[in-house]
Structure 1
């Protein structure tokens, strides 16, 4: 009996270690208090990009690795907002941080874990107009819109697309066959995948001194859809000489949808040899 009592007292007097505070993301900003000089870990279980105001430069160190966020304030910070964006599907999570001076005797800050709130499915027996399902956006449209927002829109406005993920660009991506008759320079910027569709963003730059009209019918390759950010390109050197082309392909990335590059042929190699050439 004494041994059992001693064990119970030891458990009650021993501080809990590795405690984690659970935060539920319900589209409301989550408060994350900080202390100067003390690192706080926030587990997200996502690969995220972090956006923060320029006023925090030099005051807050932010590191992201393995689904965890490491926050360390070097001086007091007034209430500020961080934006965490899932690098795969664009989901946005907002954190409201503030850093106070570290006081002697304060217990260490607990780690935090962000989990998504459980969403209740709608009542299938309710046929009211408010609960009827809205036709989903076609996948090529959703992919193209996400790619355009990722490149041009502010981070906070990018609409998340469930199931979408970024894919690496291949090293053997040669784009000269896209529109070989136009004086254009190409550069692949990024690529994403959703189910059996890929979208690749390609930067186009006019290398001529004339305006160029961009017509998707000029494109050579096997594409589900093609969308230009702008309908034309200004002369080389002008601010209008560059735009982005979004190419959607099915069952594979962009490389497999391009026409093969044809090497120049030396016609003299197959000419018959004259009698004078014979030894």
Structure 2
């Protein structure tokens, strides 16, 4: 990820370590209220983060020990999500970032995958064990704001928030977390006709959501579009 003023979105899954590599030797100050929930170990330019339990989004700061750079991190821990085991953060103009940009440019020359392959890849990135995460030529990860959003699903009974986004050719897929906010004693069926936006396809990981507070009150929905997620109008 290239840091350009916007905070780096860092999603964690409880009890699973995630590495963050910076272009500098870093120090991260964990606030007292989060110290029992988040373990942070730093070796040179790499931070090893492990969430002990779910916790809401919290702003941390990775500071270069020489004082020349600061990167804000919006850290959140959620049950039932899969994230890549490592995230590399680059600053504009650093050599490693330029090398990665050249690699991404080369990946753009790979043949584009179809909608089914792209959706399957997104599901694997969320749910597959870290050791089995696939590499699919022609697919690149996109930055996406993981803040909860209003208006994606009609009725206000379901909370939605993007989890990750990927693209290939002219196709884009965004994995969105759907959480049932009601206390209904019966399953809440996901009716895609209640979904706002111009989508080519919408595929839920599970077709039913149990009442709020149960283990099955959350699922992921994969939305395929012909443009990046933030550019999809939600007018219909």
TM superposition score normalised by structure 2? 0.50
Larger Rg: 1
